[in-house]
C-alpha cells in the first residue's frame, strides 16, 4: 500500500494538474469524470490524467490519499481541489482557469 501512496504522491507532485478519473478524457466511463475533464479541457491548458479503472491499486487507495471517497479527484499544484461539483463550480465562476494557469506557470518556472 505504501508503494501505491508514494506513486500517487509522485503523480500529484510532478504534474501541475492531474485528474484521477474513470476512463480517459477522450473516452470517459462516468458522467462525473466526463464533466470534470471537460471543464479542465475548457481552460485551454494541458493536464495529466490517470484512468483509475485501469489501475486497481490506485482505485483502491486514492480515497485514502487525501481522504476523499469518490472519483474523479482533481489535483492542482499538488493540492486536492475536489471532485466534479467543485471543479464545475470553479469553472463556472472563472476561477479554474486561473488556478490551472498559476500551477502550470509555477511548474514551468525553475525554482532557485
Residues 89-108 have pLDDT tens digits of 999 999 999 999 999 999 88
Phi, psi of 83 (to 5 degrees): -105, -150
Query: Do residues 14 and 68 lie in contact, with contact meaning Cβ atoms separated by under 8 Å?
Result: no
Q: Please report, to the nearest 10 degrees, the dihedral formed by the alpha carbons of residues 109, 50, 83, 76 taken in order.
A: -10
Nearest to 23 by CA among 69, 46, 55, 47: 55
Q: pLDDT confidence of 1, banded at 50, 70, 90?
A: low
Whole-structure pTM value: 0.94
Q: Quote the pLDDT of residue 2.
A: 83
Residue 84 counted as an annotated binding residue:
no
Mean pLDDT of 53-63: 96
Domains and their CATH numbers in the chain: 2-108 (3.40.30.10)
Amino acid at each position: 500500500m505504501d508503494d501505491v501512496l508514494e506513486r500517487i504522491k509522485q503523480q500529484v507532485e510532478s504534474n501541475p494538474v492531474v485528474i484521477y478519473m474513470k476512463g480517459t478524457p477522450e473516452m470517459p466511463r462516468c458522467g462525473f469524470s466526463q464533466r470534470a475533464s471537460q471543464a479542465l479541457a475548457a481552460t485551454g491548458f494541458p493536464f495529466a490524467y490517470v484512468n483509475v479503472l485501469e489501475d486497481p491499486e490506485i482505485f483502491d487507495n486514492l480515497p485514502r490519499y487525501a481522504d476523499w471517497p469518490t472519483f474523479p479527484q482533481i489535483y492542482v499544484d499538488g493540492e486536492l481541489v475536489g471532485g466534479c461539483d467543485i471543479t464545475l463550480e470553479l469553472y463556472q465562476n472563472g476561477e479554474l482557469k486561473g488556478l490551472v494557469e498559476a500551477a502550470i506557470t509555477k511548474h514551468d518556472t525553475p525554482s532557485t
